[in-house]
Amino acid sequence: MSKTFQRAGLVLALACLAACGGGGGAAGTPTVNTGSTSAVGSASSATTLSGVAATGKALASARISLRDAAGVIRRTTSDSNGAFSLDMSSLQAPMVLEAQSGGTTLYAPVFAGDNHVNVNQLTNAQLRQWLRSRCADDTCRGQAATQQLYDFLAAGKGDLAALTADSFDSDLLALTSAAGGSAGKLRTDKTFAANGKGWDALLDAHPYGAIMVDANGITSQAGLLQAAVSSVPLASVPVLPAYPYDNLCRGTLNATVYRTANVDMYGQGISADQQRRAALLADYYLRKERSRFEVLTDTGLTGQRAQYCVDGSVVNAGGSASGGAVGGSLGYFSGTQAAGEDDWRQVLHHETIHMAVNAATGNTEAGGPNMVEKWLDEGLAVHFAGQDGWLSDVDGWFADSDHSVHPMDVRLDGMIGTQRLADAGYYEMFRLMLKQLETANAGPQELGRRVASVLRVVKGKPIANNPGVFQAAASQYLFGNSPYATYRSNLPATLRDYVASHTVGLGVSGGTVLRGTLLVEGAAVSCSTLQKAEDVQLVGGKLLLPKVDGSYRLLAIQSVSKAGGQATVSYYPLQTVTISNGAANPATLALAGQTVASLSCSN
């Protein structure tokens, strides 16, 4: 079992920068009315609908259509940026937006009150997934996934009156989260542009032709993004065991449970939309972490459905999200009312990692025996859930009286009750240790494989009864055959060197940030598209993104590779730097704990 309190910190969400779409264009053509004019549904309060049609690149000169609940259709044409605007006065919601260009046809729902709706392959897949879930037979389900939706709706299928903006956007948020996006509403985001940044970079990563909707859910070429989900009555599902450590989900549970192939999501004091979205995210994280640690192969858990519960009635001190894992198939956590969206998702992911580790090692019950030491158990969860934390003064940290225990000696039964908060103070060090091990073990994928090897060795071998088994496995697979005791004694120096090699010193001259010592090759690269962009400068090996408050977002280049007229730049997104009175604040930027991102641009 483990208990998590998310550490407050700076979350940086910097999208990859790439050249996609762009350029000015002519306004769309006038709108055209077709269909009947009988009043069905509710009249939209907005009179004009704008939006952007894109698949990663703009759908230029696309035919844009808007069909209302009565079958009335209005049309226009997008400009060269994929942007469009049309009159929707007197139309009845809910409506369906269609964008056609060549062999590409995209859809998105439009609800009463909407005045801006973007249409792309993810809104299209999410709408088709919902319509498919409303079908009673395979013929209908196949048509919902592949047929022109205006024909589908005209045939009297897919009653959109049952779909709400909140539920659709909640499901779409789960889909975009699984695809690598951040919190936000892709469908109605007025800042969206087909420029290779932000949401558009996400669309680039999941091309229109690579997305399928079928019985499994929504699938990209990279794998299943969103499982099919159904609602079942609480009375017809297995009883949710009581969480043994605090009051999460101990009250009256919601009457509906949301079910995927891998997850039953229970709820308490939470909206149906968030409970459903939690089911979709939990399914994604569970599949991801079971695969990472080879749980399906090692434990025969294929088809085992995990039980999760999200409790919106629990609000922790400081507003942080909390959660706990019991064995390999029970997870409990608080709702987004207790924390921000990113915090909540990270805690859900964190506890799912514990569940996967527990399943892989055979620790299947509350208070069960520990097969791995706390630094690895918590370190894996903090690390792979992306809960960033780093420390530049490693020597000072080891000498700190508040952290008198060596991080590899933190007690195995910690994170419960009063011990929980004391051990939570070690999260930064656990995260830093895993970052260092990831670097030493050739990256995240190889680290995951080597950790899976450790978990196989220690499966069913509690540390208390098998002293030395875990340490020998860690030495062999994680420490490069260095003896455990040697790695432990060298840890302060190892982490000090790691942090020193992942910092950038800054200087200022005439209000311009001077480059510090860059750590790897490729300190400078010529990318004409970046140099011409209005919001980006390539200066001294760093990308400077000016902000309105006069500060800069810095991206320190890690490496550059060139092939076929393209340059791919890997970089660290750093903290905000403020230039004041000829000085940079902070003067030293920490790279440890940062996730390396990348961009591509034409030379």
Asked if residue 127 has pLDDT above 60, the reply is yes
Which band of pLDDT confidence, cut at 50, 70 and 90, is reported for residue 495?
confident
Q: Decide if 108 contacts 188 (C-beta within 8 A).
A: no
Run of H or E residues at 296:
helix 295-299
Angle CA 134–135–140, to nearest 5: 145
pLDDT value, residue 584: 60
Give the residue-averaged pLDDT of 54-76. Answer: 94
Measured in Å, how far apart are the chain's first and last C-alpha atoms?
51
Residue whose pair of structure tokens reads 């013929």 in the numeric block: 139
Instruction: Collect all residues with Cβ–Cβ distance below 8 Å to 566 and sequence separation of at least 6.
Output: 600, 601, 602, 603
For 427-443, the three-class secondary structure string (H helix, E strand, C coil) is: HHHHHHHHHHHHHHCCC
Residue whose pair of structure tokens reads 């439009």 in the numeric block: 110
pLDDT value, residue 174: 85
Which band of pLDDT confidence, cut at 50, 70 and 90, is reported for residue 353?
very high
Q: Going by DSSP bridges, is the β-strand pair 306-311/263-268 parallel, antiparallel, or unpaired?
A: parallel
Name which of 273, 275, 306, 272 is nearest 289 in CA terms. 306
Asked if residue 412 has pLDDT above 70, the reply is no
pLDDT value, residue 449: 94
Asked if residue 23 has pLDDT above 90, the reply is no
Q: pTM, whole model, 2 decimals?
A: 0.72
Which band of pLDDT confidence, cut at 50, 70 and 90, is reported for residue 596?
low
Distance CA 553, CA 547 (A): 7
Which residues on adjacent β-strands are paired with residue 73? 34, 67
The number of helix segments (H) and strand segments (E) in the chain equals 16, 29
pLDDT value, residue 277: 87
Q: Going by DSSP bridges, is the β-strand pair 306-311/330-334 parallel, antiparallel, or unpaired?
A: parallel
For 39-100, the three-class secondary structure string (H helix, E strand, C coil) is: CCCEECCCCEEEEEEECCCECCCCEEEEECCCCCEEEEECCCCCEEEEECCCCEECEEEEEE
Joined together, the tokens standing for residue 61 give 């000169």
Asked if residue 39 has pLDDT above 70, the reply is no
Which range (1-5, 196-200, 554-558) has the least confidence?
Answer: 1-5
pLDDT value, residue 505: 53
Which band of pLDDT confidence, cut at 50, 70 and 90, is reported for residue 583?
low
Distance CA 387, CA 366 (A): 25
Tell me: the pLDDT tens digits for 356-395? Answer: 999 999 887 777 788 999 999 999 998 898 876 445 456 6
Distance CA 211, CA 222 (A): 9
Asked if residue 70 has pLDDT above 80, the reply is yes
Asked if residue 246 has pLDDT above 70, the reply is yes
Which range (84-93, 207-216, 290-299, 395-404) has the least confidence?
Answer: 395-404
Q: Decide if 265 contacts 275 (C-beta within 8 A).
A: yes
Q: Decide if 338 contacts 322 (C-beta within 8 A).
A: yes
pLDDT value, residue 11: 21
Asked if residue 522 has pLDDT above 60, the reply is no
Asked if residue 418 has pLDDT above 50, the reply is no
Asked if residue 181 has pLDDT above 90, the reply is no
Asked if residue 344 has pLDDT above 50, the reply is yes
Question: Which whole-number Å values give the CA distances from 584 to 310, 490, 515, in the listed order?
Answer: 43, 33, 12
Asked if residue 539 has pLDDT above 50, the reply is no
Give 529 or 328, the one with higher predicted confidence.
328
Q: Decide if 408 contacts 471 (C-beta within 8 A).
A: no
Name which of 446, 59, 20, 448 is nearest 200 in CA terms. 20
Order of strands, edge to edge, in the sheet holding 73-77? 33-34, 73-77, 63-67, 95-101, 104-110
Asked if residue 564 has pLDDT above 60, the reply is no
Instruction: Collect all residues with Cβ–Cβ distance below 8 Å to 371 and sequence separation of at least 6.
Output: 361, 362, 363, 455, 458, 459, 460, 461, 462, 463, 470
Tell me: the pLDDT tens digits for 475-494? Answer: 999 999 999 999 999 998 88
Q: Decide if 175 contacts 126 (C-beta within 8 A).
A: yes
Helix %, strand %, coil % of the chain (to 5): 35, 25, 40
pLDDT value, residue 201: 81
Asked if residue 545 has pLDDT above 50, the reply is no
**Mean pLDDT computed over every residue of the chain:** 75
Asked if residue 235 has pLDDT above 60, the reply is yes
Distance CA 461, CA 372 (A): 9
Joined together, the tokens standing for residue 240 give 């949710």
Give the residue-averaged pLDDT of 411-436. Answer: 63
Give the residue-averaged pLDDT of 541-547. Answer: 44
pLDDT value, residue 531: 32
Which band of pLDDT confidence, cut at 50, 70 and 90, is reported for residue 7?
very low
Which band of pLDDT confidence, cut at 50, 70 and 90, is reported for residue 162?
confident
Asked if residue 98 has pLDDT above 90, the reply is yes
Joined together, the tokens standing for residue 461 give 């071998």
Q: Decide if 199 contacts 55 (C-beta within 8 A).
A: no
Give 506 or 524, the one with higher predicted confidence.
506
Which range (274-283, 392-401, 466-475, 506-515) has the least confidence?
Answer: 506-515
Q: What values do phi and psi take at 171, rounded to 5? A: -65, -40
pLDDT value, residue 475: 97
Name which of 138, 18, 24 is nearest 80 in CA terms. 24
pLDDT value, residue 455: 96
